[in-house]
């Protein structure tokens, strides 16, 4: 599995306005690259189910355990109130919690060292943990996860939905709903890599959305819908 795909899976496992989001994430700790390695930004400003956060990937010549020990020492100096380690093979996980923020470091072994992710968020507030989007939704669907990004003022969302109806039915109804909402269908086609799957591409003025609709691999009796929406 590529690190890019792994980043998405890890983000999905973590439990406003764009200017407010950028202001909140700008105040979060910015962890430096691990020793003998480098880190790069995936998202400087994003939301996951309502929770603001930042996300980096990293590579290091150190082992996963050594990388986590480095950040664990850093956390002790910073006065984190709670430090926990766990394993979810192949990932080694370090969770650091203070009164103001929450940090999760995932690391896994690769040839020549380790790679992983660094996710930083404010201490979770139940009052803001929600999954709300203004993208048109069908009554037959429910939101599984919602990622919201602000990249230098350019907003986008990655929405994961679930439905108990057939993929083709969802495709037809989403097409009709979006057309009623002023969207133009750019393309509709079957997916190459997924049986009974479909791709729906739509546009409305400067907005663009790509919907991938198909059987849920984890629960074949349900339909999974992933929407990439560029506002």
pLDDT single digits (tens) 130-168: 567 899 999 999 988 888 877 666 788 889 899 999 999
Architecture of domain 141-230: 3-Layer(aba) Sandwich (3.40)
Give CATH 3.40.1000.10 domain extents, the chain: 141-230
* pTM of the full structure: 0.58
Q: What is the 3-state secondary structure (H, E, C) of 172-197?
A: HHHHHHHHHCCCEEEEEEECCCCCCC
Answer whether residue 124 shows pLDDT above 80.
no
């Amino acid at each position: 599995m590529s690190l890019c795909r792994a980043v998405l899976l890890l983000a999905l496992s973590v439990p406003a306005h764009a200017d407010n989001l950028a202001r909140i994430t700008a105040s979060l700790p910015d962890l430096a690259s691990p020793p003998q390695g480098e880190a790069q930004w995936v998202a400087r400003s994003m939301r996951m189910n309502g929770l603001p956060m930042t996300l980096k990937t990293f590579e290091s010549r150190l082992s996963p355990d050594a990388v986590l020990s480095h950040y664990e020492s850093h956390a002790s100096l910073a006065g984190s109130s709670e430090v926990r380690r766990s394993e979810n093979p192949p990932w080694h996980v370090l969770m650091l919690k203070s009164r103001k923020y929450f940090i999760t470091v995932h690391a896994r072994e690769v040839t020549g060292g380790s790679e992983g992710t660094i996710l930083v968020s404010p201490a979770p507030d139940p009052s803001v943990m929600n999954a709300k989007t203004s993208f048109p939704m069908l009554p037959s669907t429910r939101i599984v996860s919602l990622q919201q990004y602000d990249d230098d003022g350019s907003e986008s969302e990655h929405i994961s939905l679930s439905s108990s109806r057939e993929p083709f039915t969802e495709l037809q109804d989403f097409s009709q709903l979006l057309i009623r909402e002023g969207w133009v269908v750019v393309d509709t086609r079957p997916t190459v890599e997924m049986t009974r799957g479909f791709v729906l591409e739509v546009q409305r003025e400067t907005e663009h959305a790509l919907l991938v609709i198909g059987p849920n691999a984890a629960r074949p009796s349900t339909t999974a819908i992933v929407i990439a929406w560029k506002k």
